[in-house]
Amino acid sequence: MGRITARRRVTRITVGGPTSRREDLLAVEEPLEIRVGGTALAITMRTPGHDFDLAAGFLVSEGVISKQQHFSAARYCAGTNDDGENTYNVLDVTLGAGVPAPDPSLERNFYTTSSCGLCGKASIDAVRTHTHYTVHDDPLRLSAELLATFPDKLRAQQDAFDKTGGLHAAALFDGSTGELLVVREDVGRHNAVDKVVGWALTNDKLPLTGTVLMVSGRASFELVQKASMAGIPLLAAVSAPSSLAVGLATEVGMTVVGFLRGASMVVYSAESRVTNDPGHPVAASAAVTVTADTATYAPNSDATATASPTTPELEKAAAL
């Protein structure tokens, strides 16, 4: 549909320098209404593209579906702009035979912004969704050296970010080989993850045992929850996690890695999955900083103090 970016005339100002007018590219943000069986369930602000994956991943995150056969079909509904063109902003999902319709409590006057995927939830209890999969016993083990290669692999695939500087990205990696399986971009970090999870569901890959979810910004509670719902045992981010994110990850047995930049990273939970040399897991502690050939144990330390300097590209992405 060609609606990932939009052109706009802008004024560029340099303090003490020249002012110029030119065209710039912006990341597109539009509403998507997700319906199930003709009934409106949610509206999310997203970047158009991979909308079927987004809807599928959202339904996995909400505990509505968990297998490929649960997602029977999806189609765009009629909806036009002032010029009579279809906006492709209303999507109706048909569930598989025998799959119960979403709980009416999910119809939460749900307006999901690009910055918050849980903003429509009525209470703290409501944000906790029971997963069909467990990651606690996932056998994934990978070296810090391999994990350190993931940010550059993700960054190399961020085509829309290169043009706009305004999109988050999420990527799924095979934790054994380091193979990049899929990348999705969106103005909302939660949407990018939903698109990855939806891709996995429609390709019959759930649960995502032995995989790593890499995100271009911070690791929030909702991203840990979405990873858990898809059976992903390790969530890695170029920026920091929140306390609630680490708390949930510890509860479900997920590994959370933050400040993954260059040869350095900080492991916040389930540290044994990250090894610093072949066959030697990192010892458990409150916070673990791992570099290319040395593990430094820093209980109760300030994680930001041990993180390595970031590149300008990662600074730009982490700030979103």
With a CB cutoff of 8 Å and minimum separation 6, the contacts of 289 are 264, 265, 266, 267, 295, 296, 297, 298, 301, 303, 306, 307
CA distance 210 to 227: 12
What is d(CA 209, CA 200) in angstroms, rounded to the nearest whole number? Answer: 11
Catalytic residue among 26, 116, 127, 298: 116
CA distance 83 to 153: 41
Token pair for 46: 């997203």
Q: Please state, in angstroms and rounded to a whole number, the distance separating the CA atoms of residues 263 and 251.
A: 28
Q: Which amino acid, residue 290?
A: V
**Gap between the Cα atoms of 279 and 238, Å rounded:** 25
Which residues on neighbouring strands pair with residue 246, listed in sequence order?
none
User: Of all helices (H) and strands (E), which one includes residue 25?
Assistant: strand 19-27
Per the DSSP assignment, residues forming a β-bridge with 232 are none
Residue written as tokens 């609606």? 3
Q: Is 119 a catalytic residue?
A: no
The catalytic site residues sit at: 116
